[in-house]
Amino acid sequence: MSDAPANAAFTDRLRVVLISPRNPLNIGAAARAMSNFGFADLRVVNPYDVAFREAKSAVRAHYILERAQVHASVSEAIAGCSLVIGTTAVGHRDLHAPLYRLEAGAQLLREHLASAEAALLFGSEKFGLSNEDLSYCRWLLRIPARAEHGSMNLGQAVAISLYELIRDEARIQDRFPQPAAATAEDLERITGMMHEILDRSGYINERTSKSTELKLRRLVLRLGIPQVDAETWLGILRQVLWKLKQE
Amino acid sequence: MSDAPANAAFTDRLRVVLISPRNPLNIGAAARAMSNFGFADLRVVNPYDVAFREAKSAVRAHYILERAQVHASVSEAIAGCSLVIGTTAVGHRDLHAPLYRLEAGAQLLREHLASAEAALLFGSEKFGLSNEDLSYCRWLLRIPARAEHGSMNLGQAVAISLYELIRDEARIQDRFPQPAAATAEDLERITGMMHEILDRSGYINERTSKSTELKLRRLVLRLGIPQVDAETWLGILRQVLWKLKQE
């Protein structure tokens, strides 16, 4: 049971471009998130060499990292793409391109990926995308994090962006079927047995015995015992009753 | 401009519980993701002491980490919550609780958080939640990653789960307004100036001059020049025309 889209092309058409990443752990985390959600085309522009080597040589280095292409410039990394999108934290800079929240931008990007290639650019951990990087972008994507917080972790930003791309709105209704409830007869047997146990335990006052029975029935009903558990509860009560009868 | 929910209580009612985390970077990443999305109540159960100390003493240690409570057991960490949810990778284990995909589960969780406290449990990086941990969970949440991939990075799993909680479906329509298009007069001035430039450059054949004019008008129309850029384009063309007239 895989959740990867049936038509692999959708995910194959996206290029994830990391620009000047500095931290090997972040490069690895981005590759791992790509694999999680079924994306494979990772490009790295002008990485800090030591970091990239370190990421690739990590024990659990990923096949996505192994075949990641390294480019000297952004224009090289995006060649062949008909849509280039930048990611940005809070829009405090004077942005010259439309800015979409992730929910909306991912939908636009998915529509594009249905038939053509696109590149999604992530800036360095420290500085984000430069004005030059941004000048290649038709529009920008913003993950709706709190403005007060500042930047996001690079690996997390990649993971959340890709998750939103493969997120399936239709699955919201996809709730687990509620387990069947125990039948009225089972509930009545449970109520009856509890009544007997409580009677033997001295909980029940002879005068209010009838009202206690109603109270017990309502208590048991509110438990919402699943059918699958009814026998187990009956067994438990039977055992307690047996023990009480011994004394 | 903050994206935090107007009613902070929704996010305040969620407890993020990390069980036996081993990697200080993951603990830090979870705290950072919580801050990104406006959650503050972090609980750590039975952490690897060295890892937790290291995470707290990191240069950029987060206030959320500073005030995170450490518990010896799951039951201590979830005390006071009326809903406890576990997170799991692929459901290969014999699960005794309903399993929801994140899209559906987050909605259920949000509904609960509207009025009551809940805990979201994350297992250790290596083993996930134990069967004992799972026995406290009313239901389970699964991030829809590829089954082939196996587990997710802990920090990313926390980030994606919290993102889905604050994700705002209504914002999908929240697209950046398209910039106003240049007016017909501006387009006509641009077309006319291009025609004159091309004429002086020897591009235009006298015989087909009229059809070239129509072709140019359509070319310019398809550019979709925004109003805000019309003057710049006119200035550029004017300069080229001026230069051509010099020769």
Residue A179 lies in a domain: no
Give the distance from residue A73's alpha carbon to the nearest chain B alpha carbon, in angstroms: 27
Considering only CB atoms, A36 lies closest to which of B37, B108, B152, namely B152
Give the mutation candidate from A10, A11, A36 for the B interface (greatest B CB count, under 10 A). A36
Q: Are B234 and B194 in contact (CB under 8 A)?
A: no
Residue B123 lies in a domain: yes
Rounded to 5, what percent of chain A is helix, strand, coil? 50, 15, 35
Residues A19 and A101 in one domain: yes
Residues 120-179 of B with CB under 8 A from A: 139, 143-149, 152-153, 155-156, 159-160, 163-164, 166-169, 171-176, 178-179
Residues B101 and B137 in one domain: yes
Residues 53-82 of B with CB under 8 A from A: none
Residues B79 and B103 in one domain: yes
Residues A147 and A203 in one domain: no
Give the distance from residue B39's alpha carbon to the nearest chain A alpha carbon, in angstroms: 10
Domain boundary among B143, B173, B203: B173
Residue A178 lies in a domain: no
State residue B69's pLDDT score: 93
How many domains, in total, are found in chain B? 2
How many whole angstroms separate alpha carbon A152 and alpha carbon A90?
A: 10
pLDDT band at B91 (very low <50, low <70, confident <90, very high): low
Considering only CB atoms, A1 lies closest to which of B38, B147, B171, namely B147
What CATH number has the domain bearing residue B58?
3.40.1280.10
Residue A193 scores a pLDDT above 50: yes
Residue A52 host element (H or E): helix A49-57
A 10 A CB-CB count for A162 gives 26
Summarize pLDDT for B188-209 with one digit per residue, the tens: 999 999 999 999 999 988 888 8
How many whole angstroms separate alpha carbon B47 and alpha carbon B18?
A: 8
Residues A103 and A201 in one domain: no
Considering only CB atoms, B159 lies closest to which of A32, A156, A172, namely A156
Mean pLDDT, range A200-207, rounded to an integer? 89
Residue B41 lies in a domain: yes
B38–chain A Cβ distance below 8 A for any pair:
yes
The length of chain B is: 247
- Write down the mean pLDDT value for chain A: 86
Considering only CB atoms, A156 lies closest to which of B33, B100, B144, namely B33
Residues A151 and A87 in one domain: yes
Summarize pLDDT for A151-187 with one digit per residue, the tens: 788 999 999 999 999 998 777 766 666 778 899 899 9
Residue B229 lies in a domain: yes
Summarize pLDDT for A23-82 with one digit per residue, the tens: 888 899 999 899 989 999 999 998 887 778 887 776 565 788 888 999 999 999 999 999
Residues B116 and B200 in one domain: no
Phi, psi for residue A115 in degrees, rounded to 5 = -140, -5
Residue A1 lies in a domain: no
Chain A residues in contact with B29 by the CB 8 A cut-off are 153, 155-156
Give the mutation candidate from B176, B178, B228, B229 for the A interface (greatest A CB count, under 10 A). B176
Q: A208-217, B4-13, B21-30, B95-104 — which is least confidently predicted?
A: B4-13
Residue B4 lies in a domain: no
How many whole angstroms separate alpha carbon A57 and alpha carbon A61?
A: 6
Nearest CA in chain A to B169: A103
Mean pLDDT, range A128-139, rounded to an integer? 90
Q: Do B168 and A144 touch (CB under 8 A)?
A: yes
Residues B226 and B112 in one domain: no
Question: What's the angle, vertex CA A123, arms to CA B156 and CA A96, rounded to 5?
Answer: 120
Give the distance from residue A135's alpha carbon to the nearest chain B alpha carbon, in angstroms: 15
Token digits of residue A212: 């206690």
Residue B93 lies in a domain: yes
Most confident option among A147-156, B13-22, B89-98: B13-22
Chain A residues in contact with B145 by the CB 8 A cut-off are 3, 36-37
Establish whether this prediction's ipTM goes over 0.85: no
Closest listed residue to residue A227, CA positions, set A190, A193, A201: A190
Residues B166 and B214 in one domain: no
Residue A85 scores a pLDDT above 90: yes
- Give the residue, B182 or A178, on which the prediction is more confident: B182
Residues B162 and B118 in one domain: yes
Q: Do A104 and B172 touch (CB under 8 A)?
A: yes
Domain boundary among B119, B139, B173: B173
Residues B225 and B126 in one domain: no
Domain boundary among B126, B143, B173: B173
Which residue range is the domain that position B206 belongs to? 184-246
Residues B47 and B162 in one domain: yes
